[in-house]
A and B are shown apart, each in its own frame.
Chain A
Amino acid sequence: MELQLASLEGVPLLELEGDIDHSNCGIVESALGEVLAGGAQMVLIDLSRVTYLDSGGICVLLSACRGVRDAGWLGVINPNQNVRRLLEIVGLLVDPSFRVFADRQAAESAVGEILSQGQRP
């Protein structure tokens, strides 16, 4: 699994690649923890190159959702069909603090809209 930290319109963006499972989800958890500790209210994770995700990875996403709840949201970009299905099974797709974007452009538009309303990233 590869992880890189970038940003989109000032919003932290984690770019992940490969399989996320119980052996490496702690790395994602640490990276998300640092971003949230920095006061981010919106966080983006690009899942377009994530080939596999299990409950280890899902727990990290759920935990990050709790971290931004009330103030913002966690958004994932372009999860593949199978990963998206898992997110649906565990109920993340109906969580108000979780969002799914089809691509980076859609995420960028959503972020731009919120920033134009005066909310900080």
Chain B
Amino acid sequence: MTALLPQEIDRAITVGADTAHLARIRSFVEEVATEVALDFERVFDLKVAVSEACANAVEHARCDDMSLKVCACLRARRLTFTVTDNGMFRPPSPRWEGVSNRGLGLPLMVALMDEVTFIRTPGGGTTVSLSVLLDRDAAPSA
């Protein structure tokens, strides 16, 4: 069965920077994560983490017609989703601000993923990488 699973994946979707598209992004994440046979729990975690990164990007969008690109990449048993925007990165505020996701989105991403990376790109924009190791729970080899 494992032999039939894909060893490499490169896929992407681009949507408008609007929270109305979060459900579509989650469907994309679920499709890829299910393809590599991640269990139900980790599929959910990826959906939350990617959705949080996208919501963060939407919140920092500089203009209404900004787009959001979500890429899925599988290499060496590591599945990474990258969320790229051209907005202004602002560090999460430690204070609660209404129902904004500030202060909670980032800790959730860190809690749910095996690796989280933020890259500020020259000229503006941010790329957030969210990775899970497919063999995380496997016994270490001798």
Contacts and interface: CB of A to CB of B under 8 A. Distances in A.
Interface of A: 19, 21-23, 25-26, 29, 52, 54-56, 58-60, 62-63, 81-82, 85-86, 89-90
Interface in B58-79: 58
Contacts of B111: 89
B13 interface: no
Nearest to B104: A55
A55 B23 contact: no
B99 A21 contact: no
Given A52-B47, A54-B101, A56-B101, 4 more contacts: A23-B20, A52-B48, A54-B51, A82-B44
Contacts of B40: 82
Given A21-B22, A82-B44, A54 B99 contact: no
Given A21-B22, A55-B108, A59-B104, A26 B99 contact: yes
Contacts of A86: 48, 108
Interface of B: 18-20, 22-23, 26, 40-41, 44-45, 47-48, 51-52, 55, 58, 96, 98-101, 104-105, 107-108, 111-112
Contacts of A19: 23, 26
B52 A54 contact: yes
A90 B110 CA distance: 12
Contacts of A82: 40-41, 44-45
- In this complex, the member of A59, A62, A81, A86 whose beta carbon has the largest number of chain B beta carbons within 10 angstroms is A59
24 contacts: A19-B26, A21-B23, A21-B55, A22-B58, A23-B19, A23-B22, A23-B23, A29-B99, A52-B26, A54-B48, A54-B51, A55-B104, A55-B105, A56-B55, A58-B104, A59-B98, A60-B99, A62-B96, A63-B98, A63-B99, A82-B41, A86-B108, A89-B111, A90-B107
Given A21-B19, A21-B22, A22-B19, A59 B100 contact: yes
Q: Which 8 A-B pairs have the closest CB atoms?
A: A23-B19, A55-B104, A82-B44, A55-B101, A22-B55, A22-B19, A59-B99, A55-B105
